[in-house]
């Protein structure tokens, strides 16, 4: 099985020992504390679940700037995105050496983790701008990732953490949320060696389904892990529970048994395009995947990135930066000429009108009106789940008015 990134074994920061976890929870009640922002809380969940192996906790200022400029920590570990705990208010923890980190996403803001404070530093406005531009490729505040990052505060709290729960992910997405440890164990139990990971924050239409099938066949892989983001998205994106239902129905009906695992991870989408694609590769290696499908506009938003920037960035990596490999995918669509889904770069004599194309806006309109997209675009079982979701939204809006 592929090794974790930068380590021989996963470094999952979740405290499994019940006695120690209860001791830490009791201690946390007497510690100075801060309420994390949602992005930092998601980072803590990812650290707890082993996805951010080999990191022990949140990066300090020097580490963050090194990762920003060189995509390496000062000690030479490849890492593409700073893992930070930012805040705008340190009045309650000034001078503290040990603090409790509270969850902003659960009622009562319970303790999520306990942290040994290495340092509390302040980024300058110039440094925040540098990190923003390097990681997101833009300073444009209309970019959803930029808006979140630049509103998170300039104080950087660094140090190792011990994670005491997985926030709302474990309960709200029971059976879907899985740690890197759990996925790696299941891959081993299934006897898979070559494993393809598919990243998604959306329901999977027929083209996505066929892309997974293409990757599995061409790589002669043993199985696919459809690994969906369960954290915060931008307004208008499909809720995680609906996506989960769509994907599970598709797998149940259209894939052979023991060829697909459907799992999710607790992270907030960055929409950071190429840099986020690299982060996706890091934590998919940690969960045991040997290959990651990187398609058109992977982890992108709007027109901030070129369609294949997220593939090209892998060409610039130092040798052995990662063990996981990528499967490069072009835009996929139904060919009317060939009567199947194809990668558009692989077929000849095709004009735009030879493909079945539907814009996201058009699809949403159809679903809201109870009209299923054509079968060349979406499986009918998946379309039914989406129609129910959109029609419920329409009804709720009407009641609200």
Of the candidates 351, 355, 387, the one whose C-alpha atom is nearest the C-alpha of residue 371 is 387
Q: Where are the beta strands (DSSP E) in 182-339?
A: 195-200, 223-229, 260-265, 291-294, 325-328, 332-335
Sheet holding 291-294, edge to edge: 260-265, 223-229, 195-200, 291-294, 325-328
Of the candidates 51, 57, 208, the one whose C-alpha atom is nearest the C-alpha of residue 118 is 57
The catalytic site residues sit at 201-202
Of the candidates 205, 281, 203, 288, the one whose C-alpha atom is nearest the C-alpha of residue 239 is 203
Look up residue 352 and give its DSSP letter: G
Stretch (H or E) spanning 87: strand 86-87
Do the bridges between strand 355-356 and strand 33-35 make them parallel or antiparallel, or are there none, so unpaired?
unpaired
3-state secondary structure of 34: strand
């Amino acid at each position: 099985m592929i090794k974790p990134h930068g380590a021989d074994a996963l470094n999952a920061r979740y405290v499994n020992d019940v006695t120690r976890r209860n001791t830490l929870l009791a201690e946390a009640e007497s510690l100075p504390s801060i309420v994390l922002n949602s992005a930092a809380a998601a980072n803590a969940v990812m650290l707890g679940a082993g996805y951010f192996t080999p990191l022990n906790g949140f990066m300090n200022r020097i580490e963050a700037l090194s990762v920003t400029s060189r995509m390496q920590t000062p000690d030479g570990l490849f890492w593409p995105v700073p893992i930070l705990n930012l805040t705008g208010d340190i009045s309650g923890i000034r001078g503290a050496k040990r603090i409790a980190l509270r969850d902003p996403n659960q009622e009562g803001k319970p303790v999520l983790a306990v942290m040994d404070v290495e340092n509390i530093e302040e980024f300058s406005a110039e440094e925040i701008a540098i990190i923003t531009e390097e990681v997101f490729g833009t300073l444009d505040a209309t970019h959803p990732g930029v808006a979140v990052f630049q509103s998170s505060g300039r104080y950087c709290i660094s140090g190792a953490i011990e994670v005491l729960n997985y926030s709302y992910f474990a309960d709200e997405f029971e059976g879907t949320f899985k740690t890197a440890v759990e996925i790696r164990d299941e891959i081993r139990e299934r006897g898979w060696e070559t494993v393809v990971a598919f990243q998604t924050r959306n329901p999977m239409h027929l083209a996505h389904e066929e892309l997974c099938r293409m990757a599995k066949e061409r790589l002669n892989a043993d199985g696919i892990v459809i690994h969906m983001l369960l954290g915060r998205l931008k307004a208008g994106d499909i809720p995680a529970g609906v996506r989960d239902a769509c994907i599970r129905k598709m797998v149940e009906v259209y894939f052979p048994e023991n060829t697909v695992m459907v799992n999710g991870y607790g992270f907030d989408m960055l929409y950071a395009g190429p840099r986020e694609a690299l982060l996706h590769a890091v934590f998919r290696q940690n969960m045991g995947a040997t290959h990651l499908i990187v398609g058109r506009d992977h982890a992108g938003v709007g027109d901030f990135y070129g369609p294949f920037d997220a593939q090209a960035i892998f060409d610039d990596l130092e040798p052995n930066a990662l063990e996981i490999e990528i499967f490069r995918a072009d835009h996929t669509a139904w060919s009317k000429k060939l009567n199947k889904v194809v990668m558009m770069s692989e077929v000849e004599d095709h004009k735009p009108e030879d493909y079945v194309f539907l814009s996201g806006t058009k699809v949403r309109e159809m679903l809201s009106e109870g009209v299923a997209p054509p079968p060349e675009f979406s499986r009918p079982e998946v379309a039914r789940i989406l129609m129910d979701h959109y029609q419920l939204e329409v009804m709720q809006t009407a009641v609200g008015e």
